[in-house]
Amino acid sequence: GDVRTIKMFCEVAQPVHVAPLIEIEKQFMTEFDYVMESQQLDKVRKNMMAADIAGDASKLCAIPKPHLDLCTKRILVMDELNGNKLVTELKNDMNRQTERMNHSLEKFGGDEEEMQKSFTKEFALGENGPTSDQYETLIKLLDAKRRAVNAYATLYNYSVGLIPGTKRKEYQDKSSLPINHAKLIDDLLHIHGHQVLVDGVFNGDPHPGNILLLGVEEGKPQLGLIDYGQVKTISKEERLVFCRLILALADDDKDGVVKALKEAGYKSQKMDEDIMYTYARVAYDEDNETLTQGKHIQLFMEELHDSDPVEHLPQQYILASRVSILLRGLGHAVHQSRSVAKAWRPIAEKVLREEGEL
């Protein structure tokens, strides 16, 4: 198939990508077996509900319930989540806020990129935008203004607005309020950190197309998580090793990172500890222009491989790396860059403490 062809090409031209492709090919084999996917979805959903992470609108996320008795190899039956894709809602949010600030798309000649730049400047978004608490303060202020506008509209509509020919004032619903981008990223990191480090059963493909946003019209955005065709399971011992690696990365403990990588089974020709440390940081923790020397993450990883060719990459953590990279990419896109290791540190610490390692 296509993956096998790409893998053969990489064996010659870009060997650094062979190990990830092997893992992706293995996971892809189950992608269209909907009986298996329904079982994986059911397991992840139950784990998340048991942890009080998934459920009704008061929880961090909603995960659809599969109807196992109705699923076949070619048909997946599950509850519907009423919401739009996250990317769609983020674009809608940008449009609403730029219109609120009198910066409509028409003003920029239909150039969405220019409107995004204006939006970024108006909200003082740098590499990292407002924190979750700062967003909440802004949302509360705008909600108070919204309620005042609606109160005035009510008075107007039931007085002056009753005069024939008079145009009635429109009301603003809660969908006009900004979405808390910082909380979205923090919630996604917490959800997937728990799946990887606590449950050892996680969605290895949490790209933006698999993330919905529910409850926007009610002013109570909630993540909706779908598509569990690429679920990865790791053993307890593999979880504990990864917890040690996350803790070492969060503490910037180079010796601890190298030790955990060796324990995980990482092998290279030279076993250069500087390169091992940098590899772990980019693969599992963070990426920025300083760390990657201004290069695209893929190109940078290829250069690391050229400096000290990898002979064995821990297959069990490849999809964990993919989760980290995908969530970081989404964070970068909404100006909410994160260190995954620091976000996952409390989870890893709790797991290790419960196992008597701390």
- The pLDDT confidence band at residue 73, using thresholds 50, 70 and 90, is very high
- Tell me the mean pLDDT in the region 21-30: 59
**How much is the pLDDT for 14?**
58
- In this structure, what is the dihedral angle of CA atoms 292, 293, 296, 302, given to the nearest 10 degrees? -70
Query: In this predicted structure, which of 89-93, 298-302, 333-337 has the lowest mean pLDDT?
Result: 298-302
Q: Is the pLDDT of residue 144 over 60?
A: yes
Task: Please determine, for residue 276, whether its predicted confidence score (pLDDT) is greater than 80.
Answer: yes
pLDDT at 171 over 60: yes
Which of residues 297 and 355 earns the better pLDDT score? 355
Number of other CB atoms surrounding residue 214 within 10 Å: 19
Q: Which residue has the tokens 């995954």?
A: 340
Cβ-proximal residues to 333 (8 Å cutoff; 6+ apart), any chain: none
Helix axes 254-264, 273-280, angle to 10 degrees: 80
The rounded distance, in Å, linking the Cα atoms of 168 and 113 is 35
Contacts of 116 (CB under 8 A, 6+ apart): 94
pLDDT tens, residue by residue, 95-131: 887 777 665 445 555 555 665 555 555 554 555 788 9
Q: How far apart are CA 142 and CA 136, in angstroms?
A: 10
Q: Which of 25-29, 113-117, 333-337, 339-343 has the highest mean pLDDT?
A: 339-343
